[in-house]
């Protein structure tokens, strides 16, 4: 495997994705908290960082076990680090170097840049520049502004690049990463969904034995794929629980239960709507709502799981980005904006051991694994839906009546996306019920009713997102349908904010 040490760059996860796309297994760890380097580690990549190597409190790492002893690649901050702390000099650049650039010198005899074209387009994003390299460092690529755009330390398998090979705009970035991973590190490209399934099922069998497992299903991709993997490993010793928290989409409880039929997941559906509505009554603050929904879920789940005799394990559909974000919150360098993931949210009194078969996969990999497991493509293609559901899309307090209004509007929007063939172009979509009333006119009557905002975003992992340019005709039709058919709404607006600086949800 390849180890990626994270100094907090927004692009670190992207490096991981690129390595995985080359069918090589990798793990991302904070620079100050990584596992022991054993013989399974074939190479190490140092990420970029929002810090400068010249900052007093910039991230520092002891590389004595790594540098010179195994293949090492520094990217951006990583490149500056390997220059600055080993006898070179890094200074502020005259012009901040961001965006597109073209290489004008490439030593394609160097294994890292083998096959890279002489004027290859690369993507720069840095405020500092490497002014002087240490002795025995050899420049292997330059642009007109950045002389030390890539270098190799002679006598070592250590390389560094100032630009970002992981971003799409570095057109031959994947080639460079492949040169490093395959030719320098010697990794074989055999990490595929089928090999993952085989390994994981065997591991789950060994880990769980004849114990019983209870799994929380949400109807989403992650928990479903986790369920099918567990079922393959332990068969009928798996029981799944699907809770209706009253904040699901219209008709979702029934249709999800239907779609689970015949999959062997042993699903128990629990209608707990009233409990959630009671506990949420009058609560306005978003984080408090999240906490109540989380707590109620655990209580319902706990009560149900106690009905299963001798259950020892709790299965969860946690995926890799959840784990990485949580690590960052607990002392890693990346800043996190909302604390919403389901890692570590389990109270001690449940006394169940946790099993998370997907905690090393990215979302698209989960879908690929799901496909290889034969799960229905309609289920696999479902948009992500937040755990607290419509509870965080009703801005202000939650009431059953507001849920009904929002469910109707949401169903018109989502069904419309399907009917117009737009559903798969959108990563996630939904409707927000705003705590705003506005004046309207219907017939001869003046109305004073609610405003809803439609949200549809394109993204790969929810970390960054852009609003989707839905056709005007479609928006016009949806707006008209919502206002005419959903009593209580007289105005529809479309959210055209990207993330960052906005977020996907409004709360
Ligand atoms: P934001 O709003 O942070 O959302 O841009 C990013 C992704 O996370 C989902 N999300 C949540 N998921 N519990 C969840 O399970 C939550 O509290 C929560 N808040 C946001 C959001 O739907 C999007 O996919």
Cβ–Cβ under 8 Å, residues 277 and 398: yes
Domains 193-380 and 401-494 in one fold: no
Atom of ligand 1 nearest to the CA of 502: 5
Ligand 1 centroid to 443 CA: how many Å? 39
What does the pLDDT read at residue 90? Answer: 94
Out of 26, 76, 185, 187, the active site residue is 76
Number of alpha carbons in the 13 Å side-chain half-sphere of residue 321 = 21
Residue 505 Cα to ligand 1 middle (Å)? 6
Distance 377 CA to ligand 1 centre (A): 23
Question: How does pLDDT run across 198-226, given as a tens digit for each residue?
Answer: 999 999 999 999 999 999 999 899 999 99
Catalytic residue among 26, 84, 97, 166: 166
- Cα–Cα distance for residue pair 431/415, rounded to 1 Å: 12
What is the structure's pLDDT at 168? 81
What CATH number should be reported for the domain whose range is 2-184?
3.40.50.880
Tell me, in angstroms, the distance from the centre of ligand 1 to residue 506's CA: 10
Residue ID of nearest Cα to ligand 1 atom 15: 387
| HSE, side-chain direction, 13 A CA sphere, residue 274 | 1
Structure tokens at 172: 């031959």
56 is catalytic: no
Q: What is the dihedral of CA 320, 467, 96, 138, to 10 degrees?
A: 40
Q: Count of CB atoms within 10 A of residue 500's CB?
A: 11
Our answer to whether residue 26 is catalytic in this structure is no
- Residue spans of the domains in the chain: they are 2-184, 193-380, 401-494
Does the annotation mark 185 as catalytic?
no
Q: Which stretches of 346-471 are DSSP H helices?
A: 363-372, 377-380, 400-419
Catalytic position from the list 126, 164, 231, 341: 164
The beta-strand segments (E) located in 35-75 are 43-46, 72-75
Q: Whose CA is nearest to atom 21 of ligand 1?
A: 386
Q: Which atom of ligand 1 is nearest to the CA of 499?
A: 5
Atom from ligand 1 closest to the CA of residue 338: 3
Contacts within 8 Å (CB) and 24+ apart, 340-347: 340/290, 340/386, 340/387, 340/388, 342/316, 342/318, 342/387, 343/318, 345/294, 345/298, 346/298, 346/314, 347/298
Q: Which CATH number fits domain 193-380: 3.40.50.620, 3.90.105.20, 3.40.50.720, 3.40.190.10?
A: 3.40.50.620
Top mutation candidate among 290, 462, 495, 497 for ligand 1, by most atoms within 8 Å of CB: 462
- How many whole angstroms from 387 Cα to the centroid of ligand 1? 8
CB under 6 Å to ligand 1: residues? 290, 338, 340, 384, 386-388, 428, 462, 499, 503-505
Residues of the chain predicted below pLDDT 50: 329-331, 333-344
Q: How wide is the angle at C-alpha 422 spanned by C-alphas 420 and 427, nearest 5°?
A: 155
What confidence tens digit (pLDDT) does each residue in 62-111 have?
999 999 999 999 999 999 999 999 999 999 887 667 788 999 999 999 99
Q: Give 114 Cα–ligand 1 centroid separation in angstroms.
A: 41
CATH number for the domain formed by residue range(s) 401-494 = 3.30.300.10
CA-290 nearest atom, ligand 1: 17
How crowded is the C-beta side of 267, counted as CA atoms within 13 Å?
26
CA of 325 to the centre of ligand 1 (A): 12
Residue nearest to atom 22 of ligand 1 (CA): 386
The residue whose CB lies within 8 Å of the most ligand 1 atoms, and thus the one to mutate among 386, 495, 498, 507, is 386
Nearest CA to ligand 1 atom 4: 504
Reference 154, options 104, 91, 112, 106; nearest CA is 112
What is the DSSP-derived secondary structure letter of residue 195? H
Q: Which residue's entry shows tokens 């696999």?
A: 380
Residue 338: predicted pLDDT: 39
Tell me what ipTM this predicted complex has.
Answer: 0.98
């Amino acid at each position: 495997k390849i180890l990626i040490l994270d100094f907090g760059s927004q692009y670190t996860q992207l490096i991981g994705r690129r390595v995985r796309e080359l069918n090589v297994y990798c793990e991302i760890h904070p620079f100050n908290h990584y596992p022991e380097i054993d013989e399974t580690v074939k190479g190490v990549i140092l990420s970029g960082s929002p810090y400068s190597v010249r900052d007093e409190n910039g991230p520092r790492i002891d590389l004595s076990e790594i540098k010179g002893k195994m293949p090492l690649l520094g990217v951006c901050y990583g490149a500056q680090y390997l220059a600055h702390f080993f006898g070179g000099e890094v200074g502020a650049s005259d012009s901040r170097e961001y965006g597109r650039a073209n290489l004008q010198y490439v030593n394609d005899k160097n294994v890292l840049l083998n096959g890279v074209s002489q004027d290859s387009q690369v993507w720069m994003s840095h405020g500092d520049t490497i002014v002087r390299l240490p002795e025995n460092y050899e420049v292997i690529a330059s642009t007109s502004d950045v002389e030390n755009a890539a270098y190799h330390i002679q006598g070592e398998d250590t390389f560094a690049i100032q630009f970002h090979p992981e971003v799409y705009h570095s057109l031959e970035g994947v080639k460079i990463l492949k040169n490093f991973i395959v030719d320098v590190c010697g990794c074989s490209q055999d990490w595929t969904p089928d090999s993952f399934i085989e390994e994981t099922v065997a591991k789950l069998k060994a880990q769980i034995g004849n114990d019983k497992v209870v799994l929380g299903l949400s109807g989403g991709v992650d928990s479903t794929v986790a369920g099918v993997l567990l079922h393959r490993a332990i068969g009928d010793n798996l029981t799944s629980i699907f809770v209706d928290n009253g904040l699901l989409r219209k008709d979702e409880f029934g249709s999800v239960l239907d779609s689970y039929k015949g999959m062997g997941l042993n699903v128990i559906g629990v209608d707990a709507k009233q409990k959630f509505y009671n506990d949420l009554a009058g609560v306005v603050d978003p984080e408090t709502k999240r906490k109540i929904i989380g707590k109620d879920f655990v209580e319902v789940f706990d009560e149900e799981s106690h009905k299963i005799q001798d259950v020892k394990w709790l299965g969860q559909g946690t995926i890799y980005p959840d784990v990485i974000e949580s690590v960052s919150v607990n002392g890693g360098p990346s800043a996190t904006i909302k604390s919403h993931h389901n890692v570590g949210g389990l109270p001690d009194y449940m006394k169940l051991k946790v099993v998370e078969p997907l905690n090393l996969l990215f979302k698209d990999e989960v879908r690929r694994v799901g496909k290889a497991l034969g799960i229905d493509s309609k289920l696999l293609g479902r948009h992500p839906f937040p755990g607290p559901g419509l509870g965080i899309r009703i801005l202000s307090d939650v009431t059953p009546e507001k849920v009904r209004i929002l469910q109707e509007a949401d169903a018109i929007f989502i069904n419309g996306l399907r009917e117009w063939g737009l559903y798969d172009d959108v990563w996630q979509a939904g409707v927000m019920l705003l705590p705003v009333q506005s004046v309207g006119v219907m017939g001869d009557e003046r109305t004073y009713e609610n405003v809803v905002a439609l949200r549809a975003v394109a993204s790969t992992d929810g970390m960054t997102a852009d609003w989707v340019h839905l056709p005007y005709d479609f928006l016009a039709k949806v707006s008209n349908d919502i206002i005419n058919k959903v009593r209580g709404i007289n105005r529809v607006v479309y959210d055209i904010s990207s993330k960052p600086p906005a977020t996907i949800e409004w709360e």
